[in-house]
């Protein structure tokens, strides 16, 4: 089966031929299938932001290819804008990009640029608003009157309204309080399940990634360090820590318990840990 999204020997170098030349992405090869939820992690400067911007055609590779459904997205450079409707991206702090008079008009902006009919534009905007939990009474308000979390939802709804095959979210929960982060993550996962599209979540929160991702992509110093199932990636705690990343706290605690002889397995979430620890507590906490 052809991967939905694929890269072949993907490279990008900033400032080619200048004293400031810097290799941001080097020889990245990966395949992502339809409907996957991928976590993208890496230290600052690892190349992850450059990578995701190449995936939707914002940056043209220095060499190598990005393939969408088997076709090079730069095959026809004049049509690269159409790729961005299929691979939608929500930038970090996307609320800074809101500019329309009302929330509803802001959400409609993407679909309107796709050449859809007014009826289709309105339906997509309403569906997207529902997906991210924006109540009807907010749609006619100015986006600048909203809270930070509400603005974030508007920005995400604007991309969802284009109905992309791939949704890329760059730190969507940055700056939100814990409650706001949990609500937004829940809405994103609900959208993913209902829509069945492919989602890439870039995050510094290992807990967030552990909760939602099927697989995790790890960038390190412009290279693809790891790309595997979430449980497998986070089982390499020493390797992750050596490149400046942490495993989720609950994963670390459970690994320590296992190392001390307790009959537990790798956990990614608090719920999973509780499920393993409660039976042990009822038995008096006996170890192996």
Decide if 8 is inside a domain: no
Assign 3-class secondary structure to the chain.
CCCCEEEEEEEEEECCCCCCCEEEEEEEEEEECCCCEEEEEECCCCCHHHHHHHHCCCCCCCEEEEEECCEECCCCHHHHHHHHHHEEEECCCHHHHCCCCCHHHHHHHHHHCCCCCHHHHHHHHHHHHHHCCCCHHHCCCCHHHCCHHHHHHHHHHHHHCCCCCEEEEECCCCCCCHHHHHHHHHHHHHHHHHHCCEEEEECCCHHHHHHHCCEEEEEECCEEEEEEEHHHHHCCHHHHHHCCCCCCHHHHHHHHHHHCCCCCCCCCCHHHHHHHHHHHHHCCCCCC
Decide if 107 is inside a domain: no
Decide if 121 is inside a domain: no
Q: What is the pLDDT of residues 47-98, one digit of tens each?
A: 999 999 999 999 999 999 999 999 999 999 999 999 999 999 998 877 777 8
Decide if 125 is inside a domain: no
Residues near 248 by Cβ (< 8 Å), separated by ≥ 6?
A: 206, 207, 210, 234, 268, 269
Rounded mean pLDDT of 207-215? Answer: 93
Rounded mean pLDDT of 167-194? Answer: 89
Position 4 scores a pLDDT of 96
Q: Which residues of 75-89 are buried (b: 16+ CB within 10 A; e: fewer)?
A: eeeeeeeebbbbbbb
Q: What is the pLDDT of residues 218-266, one digit of tens each?
A: 999 999 999 999 999 998 888 999 999 988 888 888 888 888 888 888 7
- What pairing do the DSSP bridges indicate for beta strands 87-90 and 166-170? parallel
Decide if 287 is inside a domain: yes
Rounded mean pLDDT of 104-121? Answer: 94
Q: Which residues constitute the domain of residue 285?
A: 248-288
Percentage of the chain surpassing pLDDT 90? 67
Decide if 69 is inside a domain: no
Decide if 278 is inside a domain: yes
* 284 band by pLDDT with thresholds 50, 70 and 90: low
Q: Which two tokens stand for residue 230?
A: 């979430």
More confident residue, 53 or 280: 53
Position 287 scores a pLDDT of 47
Res. 281: pLDDT tops 90: no
70 within 8 A of 1, measured Cβ to Cβ: no
Rounded mean pLDDT of 1-22? Answer: 93
Decide if 169 is inside a domain: no
Q: Which two tokens stand for residue 2?
A: 């052809």
Of the listed ranges 10-14, 26-30, 35-39, 143-147, the least confidently predicted one is: 143-147
Position 288 scores a pLDDT of 45
Rounded mean pLDDT of 263-277? Answer: 85
Count of domains observed in the chain: 1
């Amino acid at each position: 089966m052809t991967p939905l999204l694929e890269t072949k020997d993907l490279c990008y170098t900033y400032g080619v031929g200048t004293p400031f030349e810097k290799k941001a992405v080097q020889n990245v090869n990966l395949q992502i299938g339809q409907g996957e939820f991928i976590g993208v992690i890496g230290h600052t400067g690892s190349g992850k932001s450059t990578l995701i911007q190449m995936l939707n055609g914002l940056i043209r590779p220095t060499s190598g290819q990005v393939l969408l459904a088997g076709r090079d997205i730069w095959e026809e450079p004049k049509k690269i804008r159409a790729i961005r409707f299929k691979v939608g991206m929500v930038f970090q702090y996307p609320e800074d990009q809101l500019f329309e008079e009302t929330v509803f008009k802001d959400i409609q902006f993407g679909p309107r640029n796709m050449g859809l009919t007014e009826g289709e534009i309105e339906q997509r905007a309403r569906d997207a608003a529902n997906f991210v939990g924006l109540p009807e009474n907010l749609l006619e308000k100015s986006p600048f009157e909203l809270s930070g979390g509400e603005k974030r939802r508007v920005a995400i709804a604007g991309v969802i309204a284009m109905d992309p095959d791939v949704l890329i979210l760059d730190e969507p929960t940055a700056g939100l309080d814990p409650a706001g982060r949990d609500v937004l993550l829940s809405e994103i996962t609900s959208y993913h399940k209902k829509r069945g599209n492919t989602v890439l979540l870039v995050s510094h929160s290992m807990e967030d990634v552990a909760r939602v991702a099927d697989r995790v992509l790890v960038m390190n110093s412009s290279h693809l360090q790891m790309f595997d199932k979430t449980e497998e990636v986070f089982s390499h705690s020493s390797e992750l820590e050596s490149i400046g990343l942490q495993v989720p706290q609950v994963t670390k605690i459970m690994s320590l318990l296992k190392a001390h002889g307790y009959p537990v397995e790798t956990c990614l979430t608090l719920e999973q840990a509780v499920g393993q620890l409660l039976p042990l507590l009822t038995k008096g906490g006996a170890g192996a």
